[in-house]
Structure 1
Amino acid sequence: MTSTVSRPWQKLLQLGLVPQIIIGILLGVLVAVVSPELAKNLSLLGTLFVKALKAIAPLLVFVLVASAIANKQASENGGIKPVLVLYLFGTFLAAVVAVLLSFIFPTTLVLTAVPETIAAPEGISEVLKALLLQVVDNPINALITGNYIGVLAWAVGLGLALQHASKSTKLVFFDLSHGVSSLVRFIIRLAPFGILGLVADTVATTGFAALASYGQLIGVLLGAMAIIAFVVNPLLVFAKTGSNPYPLVFTCLRESGVTAFFTRSSAANIPVNLQLCQKLKLNEEIYGVSIPLGATINMAGAAITITVLTLATVHTLGIEVDFASAILLSMIATVSACGASGVAGGSLLLIPLACSLFGIPNEVAMQVVATGFIIGVIQDSAETALNSSTDVVFTAAVCQSSGQSPRL
């Protein structure tokens, strides 16, 4: 009897992580439909999973980066600059695509009540100042709060200092990084249960009927993100590597985008991306820095959200937009997206900043932010999936261009 029961369970365990996650998604939807009350109770599984990822991610980034730099040989080249160029250029192209789709399919909004508890930045200078202050944040506070710019800065500094340390000291950090990575792999193995809870709670609590009135807005957002994921990103990878980009793109969407879609947090998906880079046999010196950095500055999805919702507000108010203003909006959306928080809904608070370009008062812009939270179940999930999977796509492209083909 025990053998009969355990055999299906063993077959389930032998499946890959992605099939297990798909099963978790289907079970989550089924539970939400059959018993909404049970589905809401299962939300604890999703909460525990996301919190575990967010808790381990800063420590993982710190020890991984410090260890990689401390053990780096003087002759080795990290090659992080090409990844940064792809991040920024890809984010700018995402904003341009969003502008074009917004003009082809102009969308208007029904503005409602303004949430009183949300505070948005008042200018680009404020966003840039906040980024600079994050660099010099207290390292302990940076680890506690998940400030990845600060974590990276202190990890790089410590790694450089440890390059002159004894071999035994460097070995301690090397072993520590592998120990934390093993802990991360255990947490990721629990993803099917966590995603089951997230899906069950989302479907039971929100449903999708309430999103029907925002169909065109969601369509423009998802359309722009799909163009970036399946057209622009592959073209950039092809230009960088000269080879067929789609096996890499689909691998990253499947193994990074799926979990990011449901966690809705680039920061929480950092451990997933680091494990995927390790699985692809990429250069640890590159991905150890590019992946946590990408969770902060590689924000094509955020640029699309900021641009589409801003232009939807412009169309609603009947404001004329010329070509120069559209390009300027793309640049502002790019810079703003780089300052977006790596947590759920981080890009929405930067919409008032873009709206100020057209003289739209903050009271109106904050109503658009409220609309963003309404469609966030779909918008923020798709945005995070695009942002997070692109981190690995661009990192792998740079590694491949330097002669290191990813193991797909």
Structure 2
Amino acid sequence: MKTFKIGLLPKIIIAIVCGVVFGMFLPGEVVRVFLTFNGIFSQFLGFLIPLLILGLVAPAISDIGQGAGKMLIATTALAYFATVTSGLLSYAVSELTFPSLIDTQTTAASLATTEAMAPFFTVEIPAPMNVMTALVLAFTLGLTTATMQSVALKNVMKDFMQVIIKTINVAIIPLLPIYIFGIFLNMAYTGDAARVLTVFVKIIGVIFVMHIFLLIFQYCVAGAFVGKNPFRLLGRMLPAYFTALGTQSSAATIPVTLRQTIANGVNKSIAGFVIPLCATIHMSGSVMKIVACAMALMMMQHISYDFVTVIGFILMLAISIVAAPGVPGGAIMASLGVLASILGFTEADQALMIALYIAMDSFGTACNVTGDGSLALLIDKWFGGKDKSEK
């Protein structure tokens, strides 16, 4: 007999709905039970964040360093540039649209009250290192290992990566719905859930429109370089887009993305190199979502920021989520350390970020993999030799 499995997104939605409903009538003592769980869980999450950065980023950088010379450098630079550009676009759109969509006076006061109730007790779990130390150590290990011939060290790094992935899959992802439930239970108990959810819906709508615009922009640029109709190019990539919507996985969509990229006229060998690599390092859709969600939460709570701070955040974010597609919800998990260290996000802010991000997870993945095809077109133009006629 087949067992019916509920995906992470439905679980998060159920947790939010149940939190809002139960928060209207459950007594305060019950709410404090979940606040106590949330406090312990957030401490464990804070402990894990630097280890997550080290475990995911170092092996990814090491693997990238084993690539094919100039083409590797060009693909990596192009993917990073595209990812950072999408973050800057998200920042600009957020600055222009969110102030008119968010009632900052009401929501700021609302979110401030969500911490009014206290847990029964707290457990301190200090992180083994701070986030910046983890990032620097990950870069040091990754870059040096890429130039060494030590198979043993690379295997240790990959084994540690599997430990982190296993911890996320077994201890973090299954408990996230309970964590989100506790957050919205508390907000509903204090009367703030409706206002926050209203803001969430508006933000999701804006981000979806930005995703569509970003894909059209990417293929217009690629089409201009290769001399082909950008809308035909984008149209051929739709099977990859819809596959990613269903699988929520860049890695699982690679065969479809590869097939459709070749159908767009990209050399098979170049497509075979670029598409799997970009599935790991090109995160335009994910960065767009994270930046927009972060901007919305900062506006809602009157957290001060400036252009220089946001630029630094985007530049570090584009690096810290390398290899995140290998983990469910990996991009937002890998970004928590940067959110805390650069933007000063609290545990409650991080929980709201997780809920917002996972609500749009499949759309971000679809944007990532579909955009990979546009980058492959550019790399093929630069390294593929003779021009190809439009099919």
Partner of 1:393: 374
Measure, in 1, the Cα distance between the counterparts of 2:234 and 2:283.
17
Residues 219 and 230 in structure 2, CA contact (< 8 A), matched pair in contact too:
yes
How many residues end up aligned between the 2 structures? 275
Partner amino acid, structure 2, of 1:237: A
**Structure 1 residues 43 and 370: alpha-carbon distance in aligned structure 2, compared to 1, 3 A threshold:** closer
Displacement of 1:345 after TM fit?
A: 1.4
Residues 80 and 318 in structure 2, CA contact (< 8 A), matched pair in contact too:
yes
Partner of 1:126: 134
1:262 aligns with 2:262: no
Displacement of 1:331 after TM fit?
A: 1.8
Displacement of 1:303 after TM fit?
A: 1.0
Partner of 1:223: 209
Superposition pairs of residues 108-147 of structure 1, within 5 angstroms: 123=131, 126-127=134-135, 129-130=137-138, 132-133=141-142, 137-138=154-155
1:248 aligns with 2:233: yes
Residues 75 and 274 in structure 2, CA contact (< 8 A), matched pair in contact too:
yes
Q: TM-score, normalised by structure 1?
A: 0.55
Provide, for residues 166-225 of structure 1, a one-character-per-residue CA deviation record: whole Å limited to 9, x for no partner: xxxxxxxxxxxxxxxxxxxxxxxxxxxxxxxxxxxxxxxxxxx99766211102221221
1:101 aligns with 2:103: no
Measure, in 2, the Cα distance between the counterparts of 1:385 and 1:121.
34
Equivalent residue for 2:340, pick from 335, 339, 356 = 356
Partner amino acid, structure 1, of 2:376: T
Provide, for residues 236-268 of structure 1, a one-character-per-residue CA deviation record: whole Å limited to 9, x for no partner: 31453244322112211x121110111111111
Equivalent residue for 1:237, pick from 219, 222, 228 = 222
Provide, for residues 74-122 of structure 1, a one-character-per-residue CA deviation record: whole Å limited to 9, x for no partner: xxx98444433321111111001110111112246775699x99x9995
1:83 aligns with 2:75: yes
SS across alignment from 1:138: helix
Partner of 2:273: 289
**Structure 1 residues 352 and 406: alpha-carbon distance in aligned structure 2, compared to 1, 3 A threshold:** farther
Measure, in 2, the Cα distance between the counterparts of 1:82 and 1:88.
10
1:271 aligns with 2:255: yes
Measure, in 2, the Cα distance between the counterparts of 1:268 and 1:94.
23
Provide, for residues 137-166 of structure 1, a one-character-per-residue CA deviation record: whole Å limited to 9, x for no partner: 429967x9599xxxxxxxxxxxxxxxxxxx
Percent identity of the aligned residues? 23
Q: Unpaired runs of 5+ in structure 1?
A: 1-38, 45-64, 148-208
Measure, in 2, the Cα distance between the counterparts of 1:328 and 1:217.
23
Measure, in 2, the Cα distance between the counterparts of 1:398 and 1:392.
10
Displacement of 1:317 after TM fit?
A: 1.9
**Structure 1 residues 390 and 278: alpha-carbon distance in aligned structure 2, compared to 1, 3 A threshold:** same
**Structure 1 residues 368 and 129: alpha-carbon distance in aligned structure 2, compared to 1, 3 A threshold:** farther
Measure, in 2, the Cα distance between the counterparts of 1:389 and 1:120.
38
1:329 aligns with 2:313: yes
Equivalent residue for 1:381, pick from 352, 355, 362 = 362
**Structure 1 residues 122 and 369: alpha-carbon distance in aligned structure 2, compared to 1, 3 A threshold:** farther
Superposition pairs of residues 200-215 of structure 1, within 5 angstroms: 214-215=200-201
**Structure 1 residues 275 and 242: alpha-carbon distance in aligned structure 2, compared to 1, 3 A threshold:** closer
Measure, in 2, the Cα distance between the counterparts of 1:248 and 1:280.
6
Measure, in 2, the Cα distance between the counterparts of 1:234 and 1:86.
14
My pick for the range that moved more, 326-335 or 387-396, is 326-335
Residues 223 and 233 in structure 2, CA contact (< 8 A), matched pair in contact too:
no
Partner of 2:351: 367
Measure, in 1, the Cα distance between the counterparts of 2:129 and 2:213.
29
Measure, in 2, the Cα distance between the counterparts of 1:120 and 1:261.
36
Displacement of 1:319 after TM fit?
A: 2.3
Partner amino acid, structure 2, of 1:368: L
1:92 aligns with 2:75: no
SS across alignment from 1:356: helix
